[in-house]
A and B are shown apart, each in its own frame.
Chain A
Amino acid sequence: MQGEEVLSEFLARVSDFVKRSLSDYRPERHAKPKSIRDAIWGTCPFNPWEIAILDSPLLQRLRDLRQTGVASLVYPTALHTRFDHTLGVVTVASRIVRSINEKHLERRAPGGPQDLRISHKDHRRVRLSALLHDVGHSCLSHVSETIFGATEEFGRLIRHINVTFGVTPKPHEIMSWLVVRCEAFGAFIDTLRQSEILPESDFSPGDIEDIAGNIIGYRKDPKTKFLADIINGPMDADKLDYLARDAYFAGPTVVYDLDRFLHTVDAIEYPRCGPTAEEPTVARLSIPIEGVTALEQIIISKLMLFSYLYHHHKIRCVEGMCHEALARCMEVSKRHPRAKTYPRLDHPVSFLSHSDRSLFPVSWPPPVMGDKVAGELFSMLARRELYKRALIISRLFLLDLDANDHAKFGFERLLGYGTDAAGRGELRQHIFEVAKKEMGSRRHREAAKGLLRRFRPHHVIVDIPRSPTVEETEAVMVPVLAEGTRGAHHANQDFVPLSDIFPIEKWVDAYNAIKWRGHVFAVDEAVRFVNAAARAVLAAPPYNLQFTYQATDLCKLDEPIPLPPAIGRSLLAGV
């Protein structure tokens, strides 16, 4: 199927979903703006047409999508939703717009070359983009997007969008873009215009393209790129809200000077460079020298949040279990269209029909519903019966890594499994088989009889998180005085990447060396067998990895199985 055909098919499916969602919705006409109180940003005003969109089932659906997925099983108060976050992003986007306009009013002549004031109309479009930016998110937020985003059909769509628009959005952003661009949503906007809820003078049908473009970070005219940057860019409103909101609701104390950042953020136009630069200049969000410290603080805090929250071992474990269950549902739904599976996930768009609540059994005690494997996992998660750590994979816990090329390439292969589901699956199967063999050995046969009968491959999870990358430092250009012109009457302006002032790569390197952790998780009763199996498998070629005692010790196993080399070799024999 060609790119255009793939896009048409996706648009038709999404349109069908939007049509079903809005079929019974009758938007109310509010006479004046409404204010909503928010824990992070205080009192936030919303225009009548924004309230009409917020009240629609399409946006109300976001109330049932937790912002941090299943993190509440680890941080009990992390119960904030995509809906709360959406309100926050609209508010932050407006604050960025106001900050830019204040500066351009003060410093630049209207209509001059550096006049990047944002019009009233553009401000409203930016707010609508913020309002709709997460509308394509699905159950368990980022967990589900790693599954539908990796399907073949979605891969074709990603490539088509990349070729057509030259951007690389994330799967949920593409889904939001599809929602905004689909026929049924266009019809909904027409209804809002005809009923005079959305002012016709401020909003034309062509604006939909701009709003959708902002969501995926695309602007046809590079001189307006900063408008998309507010929604999807290196320091966008999305990031500013989620960093503050996730930290606040999860509980770890992470402090940012967001006020200072929002005070200093600016839009600047500078010469474009490189082989793709058809237009001579581009206008983007930027930060002056006096705001760099605030941005540094945000970036470093983002790294800390990875450690506290996004890469927390228990959260990775819960996400791994959810990933396993959803992937299983998708596999069974696709392979056996009539099979009893719940939720039914036979196409990337089918994820839109499910929310967090619809995945888990609601009756108590939680029964196993639908497919046996997925049902068991959802039931375990509902009871918070979680897998345990069987082995910690960290650069700190690997012996002789610096001196052993074989180990380096073995570790490199293992890290590649982070985005290679097939490779990860093969490793998991190998560990499972070795663990099962050990359970059946003469030493353990009697004690592990029951376990041996119940133990299945999905009771083992290999988790290799991606290292955080920090795009801000290369994509954000900072205006500085050109070399040798300081003090001159007409000092020339130059632009340097933020990385020239704040070399974040040193921090990211240090984070990876010290804080990055991969894991092998397993059901509680099998964890010591899986520990021995994982150590044996990873010690052999092609991995050649020897772990220090801490890799096991920090897992707090009751009674680790000793693994001298001879036993390791015999464990692997015949598997």
Chain B
Amino acid sequence: METTCETRLEARKFLLSLFADLADDKNYEPRFKANHRGLHEFFWRVKQDAQTGAFVQDFLFDTNGNYPHCEQIDELLQEFQLSGVLSRPNPTYKFNDIRVKKSPYSDEFKNRLTPTQVDAYGGAVAAFKRELGVAASK
């Protein structure tokens, strides 16, 4: 689905910033689980939260099926694969490896947040790591 330029870019930048922050955390592997349902439910909750909803305001979810599904998330993840930002390694394809060290969008995205949103963003990143991150082996 075609969406408006600005909001779509914001969601894109939010996702890139989120992935970069995960890759930057030494306690986690630079990868997240390629769990379709888990990913869509995570971003659905981000959208429902009054504090974080604005990060993905233009994501439209189909809630009529098996679980909340947003076509834009699938498209974005596919584009990140194509650009080389993410990579699903052989042979299991069970993870998305984050293949960039630092997103140039991280600061750009965070600088636009209000102080309340900064806290909410931190909470979203923590939840993402907890639910879909892979703890680093000691």
Tell me the A residues contacting B by CB distance below 8 Å. Answer: 146, 149-150, 152, 155, 158-159, 162, 165-168, 170-171, 217-219, 222, 225, 272-277, 282, 284, 395, 401-402, 405, 407-409, 411-412, 415-416, 418-423, 466-467, 469, 471, 474-475, 477, 497, 499, 503, 505-506, 508-509, 512-513, 516
Contact = CB atoms under 8 A, between A and B. Distances in A.
Interface stretch (B25-33, B67-75, B129-137): B67-75
Contacts of B78: 467, 469, 508, 512
A415 B3 contact: no
Given A401-B84, A412-B79, A420-B9, A150 B2 contact: yes
Interface string B1-28: 1111100110010001000000000000
B88 A516 contact: no
The CB with the most chain A CB atoms within 10 A, among B69, B75, B84, B101, is that of: B84
A168 B83 contact: no
A155 B71 contact: no
Nearest to B88: A509
A469 B66 contact: no
Nearest to A512: B82
Contacts of B66: 272-274, 282, 284, 474-475, 477, 497
B85 A408 contact: yes
A211 B73 CA distance: 29
A396 to B, nearest CB: 11
A274 B35 CA distance: 14
10 contacts: A155-B3, A171-B2, A276-B63, A408-B99, A409-B85, A416-B12, A423-B5, A474-B36, A509-B88, A512-B82
B88 to A, nearest CB: 6
Interface stretch (B37-45, B110-118, B120-128): B37-45
A421 B64 CA distance: 30
Interface in B76-121: 78-85, 88, 93, 99-105
A166 B1 contact: no
Nearest to A163: B60
A275 B69 contact: no
A411 B84 contact: yes
A219 B84 contact: no
Interface residues of B, number: 46
Contacts of B8: 416, 419-420
Given A217-B64, A274-B41, A276-B63, A509 B81 contact: yes
Contact of B65 (A416, A466, A475): A475
A225 B12 CA distance: 32
A408 B84 contact: yes
A509 B81 CA distance: 7
Contacts of B37: 273-274, 474
A273 B67 contact: yes
A505 B79 contact: no
A497 B78 CA distance: 19
Contact of A149 (B2, B71, B80, B100): B2
Contacts of B102: 405
A419 B3 contact: yes
B62 interface: yes
A225 B85 contact: no
The CB with the most chain B CB atoms within 10 A, among A146, A222, A408, is that of: A408
A415 B71 CA distance: 16
Q: Which 10 residue pairs are nearest across A and B when measured between Cβ atoms?
A: A274-B67, A166-B63, A412-B83, A276-B63, A411-B83, A467-B78, A420-B5, A150-B2, A408-B84, A415-B79
A307 to B, nearest CB: 15
Given A225-B64, A402-B84, A409 B9 contact: no
B44 A275 contact: yes
A402 B86 CA distance: 10
Contact of B5 (A272, A401, A421): A421
Contact of A167 (B2, B36, B44, B64): B64
A276 B84 contact: no
A423 B12 CA distance: 14
A75 B98 CA distance: 41
Contacts of B93: 503, 505-506
A154 B61 CA distance: 17
A218 B65 CA distance: 9
A95 B75 CA distance: 32
A308 B135 CA distance: 43
